[in-house]
A and B are shown apart, each in its own frame.
Chain A
Amino acid sequence: MATQLSLDAVCACSENVVARTIEGEVVLIPLIAGIGDEEDELYTLNETGQAIWQKLDGKKTLKEVAVSLAEVFDGPASELEADVLGFASELTKRGILVAK
């Protein structure tokens, strides 16, 4: 049962996923069965997702990630926090990120 993430959570890439950057594109490649809906699926990120991914270092809280994104993105802090939380929730649900 997945728990609700909060902005205090620290997230990192699951050891069951290989994250590669190919020609500037983040590609997430499942290592074990059950990550994707289909056995042969890979994942890429949209522009927002890619920006958030680059800031996730397994040390910063999600709130700190949102703060660091404010240096490069305009917009209210609440929107950035909502994006970071939404991103982390989506990837945690898929088993790509794990909350530490």
Chain B
Amino acid sequence: MTQKTYVVQRGRDQGLPWKGARPRLEQLDVELTERCNNDCIHCCINRPANDAVARAGEMTTEQIRDLLRQAADLGCLQVRFTGGEPLLRHDFQELYIYARRLGLKVLLFTNACLITPGLADLFQRMPPLIEIEVTVYGMHRESYEAVTRIPGSFAQFQRGLNLLLERNVPFVVKWVVLPQNKHEMVEFEVWAGTIPAMTRPPSYVMSLDLRNRRDDEEKNVCIQSLRLTPHESLAILTRDVAEYKQSMEAFASRFMGPSGDRLFSCGVGCSLCIDAYGRAQPCMGLRASEWTVNLNPDLKSVREEDSFSSVSVPGMRPECAGLEDALSQFSRLYDLCTTNPEYLRRCARCFLKGLCEQCPAKSWTEHGTIDTPVAYLCETAHVQARYIGWLGKNEYGWEVMNWQERISVQHSIR
């Protein structure tokens, strides 16, 4: 059995070659808090940093440790700590070290404002094994704080990033495109290119979600007013037409085609999101009480009489015994089909699936149901498809029967 090398290095892009079955749980998302030190004008989830009620309801350190242990037992290799701002939790360092000692990679979503020298030292000494993701709201104090609405937050953000840079802690940046900062995008891209770990172009948040808990109608009106128009989104996507064309050609053959009446085309049932209070969700966006299960024995059942949906899943229970039970319950969603006539007429037959962000979570935040077409997403997809040449001026994706011909090269952007 003589061989020269025995170890296989697995870098970021190689993944792990599971010889047999994949792990039961591939990634766990944990929202450590919904509170945030910023008060961003567009945010779909944040609560004030000093919100005592929210804080009192958050999972305890031990409850989160227990979830992390369960995740590791299910074969999970990566946990995402997000929020709100996860660094607001006083026990963040403890949870981070605990997760790493369990052999989990930690993906941290943060605004970087609360990074301290001690925390940056920890990331240097005990790396998260995946780049920290920092959201950026502006390149200058005026634009940044016009978004965050917290005086001094830009200086905190700069200090946090410098602490990471000084210690060579890898991080990447992403940009939320808003009217307050869209004139700074070029400046952002040039700066992002100087960050050592930014080996790929930065990502952009362009389609703003409404409040995930459907808890603030006034703020939803504000968020809607901040959204890019479909044509503004297109202009950003097509700044480099050649690169856009090339990416769409590769994309089309893999991701276009009608989705049919099945609602979940994502990896539902393979990953989990736990909210700050101990409820398991199928994903980060789907918080409808009827689609969540309660893992926290201290939490009263939150299943309310708000079943607006035209679909239901037999056997979904409001409580569950742990992560494995939650996964089993959510795996039933994969085969869930809709009977909503409007969805069946449009989305189920539309071949623009890969361009459109329509999904049960987006539908729920917009309409309180999981199977209602979202007009904003639909328009954005159609504007792109018309630009590419897949659709005529007044044509819709659900009207096209020969969609395979449309996405072939001869119809692509000229």
Mostly helix, strand, loop or mixed at chain B's interface? loop
**A contact residues, range:** 35 or more
Given A22-B23, A27-B103, A33-B124, A42-B3 contact (CB < 8 Å): no
CB 8 Å contact bits of A18-33 with B (1 = contact, 0 = none): 1110111101111111
CB 8 Å contact bits of A32-49 with B (1 = contact, 0 = none): 110011111111111011
Which of chain B's residues 34-76 have a Cβ closer than 8 Å to chain A?
Answer: 72, 75
Given A22-B23, A31-B101, A45-B6 contact (CB < 8 Å): yes
Q: Can you list 15 A-B contacts with CB-CB less than 8 angstroms, sorted by A residue number?
A: A18-B100, A22-B18, A27-B77, A32-B125, A38-B12, A39-B127, A42-B10, A42-B16, A44-B8, A44-B16, A75-B1, A86-B2, A90-B5, A91-B6, A94-B7
Choice from B3, B4, B10 contacting A43 with Cβ under 8 Å: B10
Q: Can you list the 6 inter-chain pairs with the closest CB atoms, starting with the nearest?
A: A49-B6, A18-B103, A29-B103, A22-B75, A42-B10, A20-B103
Which residue of B has the minimal Cβ distance to A75?
B1
- Total chain B interface residues with beta-carbon distance under 8 A: 37
A79 interface residue (CB < 8 Å to B): yes
- Most chain A C-beta atoms within 10 Å of own C-beta, residue among B1, B12, B102, B125: B1
Mostly helix, strand, loop or mixed at chain A's interface? mixed
Residues of A within 8 A of B3 (CB): 46, 48, 83, 86
Choice from A28, A44, A82, A90 contacting B17 with Cβ under 8 Å: A44
Q: How far is the CB of B163 from chain A (nearest CB, A)?
A: 16
CB 8 Å contact bits of B233-277 with A (1 = contact, 0 = none): 000000000000000000000000000000000000000000000
Contact present for A46 and B8 (CB under 8 Å): yes
Taken together as a complex, chains A and B put the C-alpha atoms of A68 and B19 apart, in Å, by: 25
Q: How far is the CB of B47 from chain A (nearest CB, A)?
A: 32
B282 interface residue (CB < 8 Å to A): no
Given A24-B20, A33-B124, A73-B1, A87-B6 contact (CB < 8 Å): yes
Choice from A20, A46, A49, A75 contacting B72 with Cβ under 8 Å: A20
A80 interface residue (CB < 8 Å to B): yes
Contact present for B101 and A18 (CB under 8 Å): yes
Contact present for B102 and A18 (CB under 8 Å): yes
Taken together as a complex, chains A and B put the C-alpha atoms of A25 and B23 apart, in Å, by: 10
Residues of B within 8 A of A28 (CB): 7
Q: How far is the CB of B99 from chain A (nearest CB, A)?
A: 11
Q: How far is the CB of B401 from chain A (nearest CB, A)?
A: 43
Which of chain B's residues 92-124 have a Cβ closer than 8 Å to chain A?
Answer: 100-105, 124
Choice from B6, B101, B125 contacting A86 with Cβ under 8 Å: B6
